[in-house]
Amino acid sequence: IHDVIQWRFGQQKSLIAEIDRTAGIFNTFRRRLWLDNQTGSLTITNTRTTDDGLYEVEISSIVSADAVKPVSVLEGDSVTLRTGLTDIHDVIQWRFGQQKSPILDCLTGSLTINNIGTRHSGLYKADISSSKHTIHKTFNVTVRDAVKSELVTKGKTVTLQTNVTEIQKDDQILWMFGEIVIAEINKAAQRFNKGRLKLNNQTGSLTITNAKTTDSGLYELKISSSRHIILRRITVTSNWVPLNSIPLYKFHCEVV
């Protein structure tokens, strides 16, 4: 915390002395004034009748913003963004787009998001203000999908959805299979392993055509932008045979 102390005098509230440790300022603007650098107290030497009047001191503190705190949570769970306060005596403002689902703890000012979805990903900012200081806290919330499963019959087509209706200009879409990048969309270019893979330019969804058993495994999707990071994992099982496609056999038994 860096204190800013300003002494003012008279009806015009003229600035006569100032300490601002953040800017390295330590000044008195009149003779016969002495300012204590440690306490901020003001001493007037060799007093005169012209020194009569109202003296006002303003003491404020500036607290530098915390580093952005990463918060990772599974879709459908709840998350609480904590202010670190035990009792509210300050003014607290939370900012995040126009989302209306978060619930504010009236005792501590902490913010809770229930049944979290990918739409809740992004930066949450808390401004905690009082007469003495201002504190800024920023949380970067990342919503991770639980692992989804896709079953596909050998030779058929399966589409892995991003659940995004339209890719934004600053979105980067990255599809991985194991350790291999198989498809990517970013500002600069679009690249993917051609052949049986098709990438939707509007949604970023990935389609696998003519599925093979070698397509079985874990597919990972990462959607990155300046607002949020969304992670999704999909397990694909190929060579799956639907139950209704299994032939039924009738047996005739003879008792001898």
pLDDT tens for residues 40-67? Answer: 899 999 999 999 999 998 877 655 555 7
Q: What is the pLDDT of residues 60-86, one digit of tens each?
A: 765 555 578 888 787 877 778 887 776
Q: Report the topology of domain 69-144.
A: Immunoglobulin-like (2.60.40)
Let me know if the fold of 2-62 is the same as that of 148-238: yes
Asked if residue 175 has pLDDT above 70, the reply is yes
- Contact (Cβ atoms closer than 8 angstroms) between residue 19 and residue 54: no
Asked if residue 245 has pLDDT above 60, the reply is no
As given in the structure block, the two tokens for residue 201 are 């330019």
Name the class of domain 2-62.
Answer: mainly beta
- Contact (Cβ atoms closer than 8 angstroms) between residue 198 and residue 120: no
Which pLDDT band, with edges at 50, 70 and 90, does 1 fall under?
very low
DSSP codes of every residue in 28-72: E-STTEEE-TTT--EEE-S--GGG-S-EEEEEEEE-PPPPPEEEE
The pLDDT value recorded for residue 176 is 92
CATH superfamily of 148-238: Immunoglobulins (2.60.40.10)
> How far, in Å, CA of 172 to CA of 214, rounded?
27
Asked if residue 157 has pLDDT above 90, the reply is yes
Q: Give me the mean pLDDT over the 203-222 stretch.
A: 91
Q: Give the range among 3-7, 151-155, 212-216, 226-230 with minimum mean pLDDT.
A: 226-230
As given in the structure block, the two tokens for residue 158 are 């399966």
Asked if residue 140 has pLDDT above 90, the reply is no
Selection from 64, 222, 240, 61 nearest residue 149 by Cα: 240
**Domain limits, the chain:** 2-62, 69-144, 148-238
- The residue ranking higher by pLDDT, 33 or 83, is 33
As given in the structure block, the two tokens for residue 59 are 């003491």
The pLDDT value recorded for residue 110 is 83
